[in-house]
Structure 1
Amino acid sequence: MKYRTYRIDLRVNNYRRTNFLIPDICPNCGKVNNPQSSEIGNIQYNGFKILYLRHYCPSCRQDHWSIQKVFPDDENNKPEMLTYAPSSSLRQFEKRICEFSPRFISMYHQAEKAENDGNLELAGMGYRAAEEILIKDYALKFSDDDAEKVSKHTLNSAIGHYFKDSEILGVAADVVRINGNDYAHWDRPEDFDVKQKLQELKAYLDIFISQINVKLMIKNPPVSRNHKSNK
């Protein structure tokens, strides 16, 4: 779990600028975590406090909780996360992917939760649906088609149309599509291995996601040839 540092005023001497931690993603919904945090209690020790915090996520409107070790107003003293609830085993995505397609993130995590609960058939369908969302968000961003045109494409036709010049994206997307279809269709192959095919689907979905991330990086570079420093 990755964390970032925030600040809270405990309204007592030496704890006016206390640092605490939150995870980068909400453990309930898997979206970028920007909670409203509040203290619900603390215990004073010699040189530090044990702080009990409530974190309200405005995205899913659910609470998560933490117990942390925090220190007086000294920049050299870093907070320590002691425990966090609920614990999260959800995948963490690059921030740019989360911001680019938040519905993809939500659908992916719903599929992931189904998989974690042993509902592999639902997970397979969910991962396929997540891919379709990401593809159509990509098409709306990188093609000249408007939302109406993009929405009329089936997943199969969208892959063929928007990735005809990219073998990596096309092949990876097709593996996810075909395997995902087999989780939903009644007439799938008799030798279909539910668990093995799900791992195969996820592996190719990872390839697809990584390539979309690369395209987003290239589309929005931190510097360019027009940057002032052209030594």
Structure 2
Amino acid sequence: MQTSIYAQNINPYSTTSEINFSLELPTKCPCCGTTYSRIPEYSNFFENSSGTITANSTYFCPTCGNCFFIVYSVEKLHHDLFGFPLVQYPTPSETTSFSKEISMLTPKFIEIYQQAEKAENSGLTELCGIGYRKALEFLVKDYAISNHPNSKEQIESFMLGKCITDYIDNEKIKTLAKASAWLGNDETHYVRKHQNYNVQDLKRFIKATVAYIEYELSFTEAFDLLKNPQ
């Protein structure tokens, strides 16, 4: 859930005493894994000589009685300030779980995606996007091969964009996969083409792609069941 918070300036030589910026609240406590949606207990910020703003927020979990700490990069988008997580202490150890259907379809996607999560949780923000982009390619290509097994060699050799265009038949999956690929390419290139999007949006689009693939796999299973009743 996105919310707006105030942060106090910790630079004694600055004339700006506080800022207001928006951020996505953490959804789980990294200490106990409980669902979480509380605003920070306290936030401060520091702006260096080049204008880069870093904010620090302290959260308290009433379930386990522990505090955790998130560092944000504060950036200006559409004339408003937004905070993007850089690192969290303690580092979360949990990774995303995927369904049995996705595990059977593309185990390599899960392996790479969870490694990217571990990189992100460790503060390796410049590397995790590359991992999510690679995970997306395995997801899309394994799904395409499952629908076009006779074209396996072509799908494996094609660039991701061409694979999506030529071998993804479901239009919703095609749209989500293409948008994910565009944002994933931004994580690997020198210049970002989509300045208003970041790695969190990439993850959101990948998860939506996974959901639609799961729906289609379940539909296919149900259709086969009705066509061939026991």
Give the TM-score taking structure 2 as reference length: 0.55
How many angstroms apart in 2 are the aligned matches of 1:180 and 1:124? 7
Instruction: Name the counterpart of 1:203.
Output: 204
Q: Is 1:186 aligned to 2:190, yes or no? A: yes
**1:125–1:183 CA contact under 8 A, matched in 2:** yes
**1:121–1:184 CA contact under 8 A, matched in 2:** no
How many angstroms apart in 2 are the aligned matches of 1:226 and 1:101? 26
Q: CA deviation at 1:109?
A: 0.4
- Between 1:137-146 and 1:175-184, the stretch displaced more is 137-146
* Structure 2 residue identity aligned to 1:158: C
Q: CA deviation at 1:146?
A: 3.4
Instruction: Name the counterpart of 1:103.
Output: 108
Instruction: Name the counterpart of 1:168.
Output: 172
How many angstroms apart in 1 are the aligned matches of 2:218 and 2:130? 29
Report percent identity of matched pairs. Answer: 34
Consecutive unaligned residues in structure 2, runs of 5 or more:
1-91
What is the aligned residue count?
Answer: 139
Q: CA deviation at 1:103?
A: 0.5
Q: CA deviation at 1:114?
A: 1.0
Q: Is 1:138 aligned to 2:143, yes or no? A: yes
Secondary structure, aligned partner of 1:146: helix
Instruction: Name the counterpart of 1:123.
Output: 128
Cα offsets for 1:210-231 (capped at 9, x unmatched): 0111122122238324425xxx
Whichever of the two has the greater Rg, that structure is: 1
* Structure 1 residue identity aligned to 2:200: Q
Give the TM-score taking structure 1 as reference length: 0.55
Cα offsets for 1:83-138 (capped at 9, x unmatched): xxxx8411111111112211011011011111111112211111111111011111
Instruction: Name the counterpart of 2:226.
Output: 224
* Structure 2 residue identity aligned to 1:192: Q
**2:130–2:187 CA contact under 8 A, matched in 1:** yes
Instruction: Name the counterpart of 1:9.
Output: none
**1:139–1:145 CA contact under 8 A, matched in 2:** no
How many angstroms apart in 1 are the aligned matches of 2:109 and 2:210? 10
How many angstroms apart in 2 are the aligned matches of 1:147 and 1:114? 31
**1:176–1:205 CA contact under 8 A, matched in 2:** yes
How many angstroms apart in 2 are the aligned matches of 1:89 and 1:209? 19
**2:187–2:199 CA contact under 8 A, matched in 1:** no
